[in-house]
Amino acid sequence: MGTLTRRQREFLAAFLRLYRRWRRPLHYGVVARALRIGRATAYEMLALLEQVGLVERRYESPAGPGRPRVVFRPTAQARRALSSVWDATVWRNTRARLLRELREWHARLEPATLLQWLLSSPMEGPVSEGMARMTAGLMLVLRLLQRGGEPLTVPRGRSLDLGALAGLSAALVALSRAEPQQVRALMDRIRWFQEQWDRLDPLDRHRLSRFASQILRETGGAG
């Protein structure tokens, strides 16, 4: 799975959603129409996923005369390939706890405190725990950098690319006068967050983006 590009991961996630909806192997033409891409592109993507063991093909005989047609279905490996942060219980509890913490001290936000917040983000255990905490921290970094300027606005229905925004947290190195070991630990967490973001189902990315917008609203930003 590590060899797939972001576009290929997103295609796999979309194909899995289609398969769950239709509950049967799908012809590449059906996939192409549903995803609004060319038939050749759909076939090439499915063939590539087949090569790495994430999709398998089978042949269906027509009801009448004609050649069998090729259809595709995901393998068991494909269902495990995409990380998911959407464990309902873990997500609900983590989100509620983080929002309580933010309401208590965001008005006293300082670079050194925010750096410690990010360094406390776990890189082990449920993905949703660490991703939610890093998301909250990234939004606080944005709030800190916005002081004295125009606040970030997120149009409704739009998603933030949190993977790209993660690099902004490096600004805390200068603002907080971080020690070398803190810099290394922060870089480790930025890389971890970006890697997890790349592996997420697009739906989970959207959920994290909505959470980020909520944090901006909770802390006085426009979202």
**Successive 10-residue mean pLDDT values, the chain, 223 residues:** 72 86 90 92 94 92 78 86 73 86 73 85 81 88 69 59 83 82 90 84 83 82 42
> Residues 96, 69: one domain?
no
Asked, for residue 223, whether it belongs to a domain, the answer is no
The kind and range of the H/E element at 211 are helix 202-218
pLDDT of residue 77: 84
Mind listing the pLDDT tens digit for each residue in 31-63? 999 999 999 999 999 999 999 999 999 998 877
The kind and range of the H/E element at 58 are strand 55-60
pLDDT of residue 2: 53
> Residues 131, 207: one domain?
yes
Asked, for residue 42, whether it belongs to a domain, the answer is yes
Domain boundary among 28, 47, 81: 81
Q: How many CB atoms lie within 10 A of CB 192?
A: 18
Q: Kindly give the pairing relationship between strand 55-60 and strand 69-74.
A: antiparallel
> Residues 65, 101: one domain?
no
Tell me how far apart the alpha carbons of residues 94 and 102 are, in angstroms, rounded to a whole number. Answer: 12
Tell me how far apart the alpha carbons of residues 15 and 32 are, in angstroms, rounded to a whole number. Answer: 10
Instruction: Supply 6's token pair.
Output: 């972001």
> Residues 165, 205: one domain?
yes
Give strand pairing partners of 60.
69
Q: In terms of pTM, does the model score above 0.75?
A: no
Provide the domain limits for residue 31.
6-81
> Residues 110, 209: one domain?
yes
Domain boundary among 22, 56, 81: 81
> Residues 66, 175: one domain?
no
For the chain, the domain total comes to 2
The number of CA neighbours under 13 Å toward the Cβ of 49 is: 31
Q: How many CB atoms lie within 10 A of CB 163?
A: 17
pLDDT of residue 26: 92
Domain boundary among 81, 99, 117: 81
Tell me how far apart the alpha carbons of residues 65 and 7 are, in angstroms, rounded to a whole number. Answer: 38
Tell me how far apart the alpha carbons of residues 23 and 108 are, in angstroms, rounded to a whole number. Answer: 52
> Residues 96, 192: one domain?
yes
Instruction: Supply 2's token pair.
Output: 């590590």
Tell me how far apart the alpha carbons of residues 189 and 54 are, in angstroms, rounded to a whole number. Answer: 29
> Residues 211, 152: one domain?
yes
